[in-house]
Amino acid sequence: MSKLADILAKHDRIIIAGIPGAGKTYATKDITDRPVIHTDDHKDKAWGDAPKAIAESVPSGPVVIEGVRALAATKHLDEPVTCVVWLDRPRKPLNAKQKAMAKGRRTNFAKWRAENPDVDVESLED
């Protein structure tokens, strides 16, 4: 069984977050046992408005929320997540804009982690 399959078996409500190019969307390609919400589907929203719009699209029960804005959506969810899968290794070299965004995502994750110590954090990276 893959590491993600183990995480899916253990947790109902999961976020897959991380830096740009780390494979967040790719990680969800074989998930069939629950809805997968992609935060990129809300790119048309303003950066600050996206988290609430994302949360409003999340159904009750088992779900995976994937993307760079997934952590920000947690404060608007009706049901909490129990696990965050954090992906921090890019699959290919990042350009300057992606590097800057990666730095911001890491800072955001550290802050979120400090505010949510009871949520399990996992990695799919070796």
| Residue 34 belongs to domain spanning | 3-122
67: CB partners within 8 A, 6+ apart: 16, 17, 24, 25, 38, 39, 40, 54
What does the mean pLDDT of the chain come to? 95
Max intra-chain CA distance, the chain: 39
Encode pLDDT of 88-109 as tens digits. Answer: 999 999 999 999 999 999 999 9
Q: How confident is the model at residue 47 (pLDDT cuts 50, 70, 90)?
A: confident
Judge if pTM exceeds 0.85. Answer: yes
List the CATH number of the domain containing 87.
3.40.50.300
How many domains is the chain partitioned into structurally? 1
